[in-house]
């Protein structure tokens, strides 16, 4: 799930990411702001859902993927769109 909160007087948007993979120990978000090196670590809740709040610039577009347990790349099913990547797969896209 991706939930966007816009502020009338701010030039950014608060984005809440929530993702619930089965039996995962860790989930990270990579690719936001074109940064595929520095992961955003999501917090695990008691029900097994991972979440993270991220501030991103308004009027921007970001490709990203979830990295589950440091080995499995997963797209966000509710992303605004999917974009082809250089590895023959797709990345999730969020448009603000």
> What's the pTM value of the predicted model, to 2 decimals?
0.94
| Number of structural domains the chain divides into | 1
For residue 28, the enclosing domain spans 2-95
Output the CA–CA distances (angstroms, integers) from residue 36 to 10, 17, 50, 59, 67, in the order listed. 26, 17, 19, 20, 11
pLDDT band at 25 (very low <50, low <70, confident <90, very high): very high
CATH code of 64's domain: 2.60.40.10
Question: Do 79 and 90 meet the contact criterion of CB atoms below 8 Å apart?
Answer: no
* Per-residue pLDDT reduced to its tens digit, 36-75: 999 999 999 999 999 999 999 999 999 999 999 999 999 9
* Per-residue pLDDT reduced to its tens digit, 69-85: 999 999 999 999 999 99
């Amino acid at each position: 799930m991706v939930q966007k909160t816009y502020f009338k007087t701010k030039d950014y948007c608060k984005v809440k990411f929530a993702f619930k993979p089965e039996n995962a120990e860790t989930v990270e978000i990579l690719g936001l702001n074109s940064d595929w090196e520095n992961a955003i670590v999501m917090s695990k809740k008691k029900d097994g859902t991972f979440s993270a709040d991220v501030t991103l610039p308004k009027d921007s577009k970001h490709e990203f993927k979830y990295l589950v347990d440091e080995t499995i790349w997963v797209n966000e099913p509710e992303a605004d769109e999917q974009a082809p990547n250089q590895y023959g797969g797709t990345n999730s896209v969020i448009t603000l």
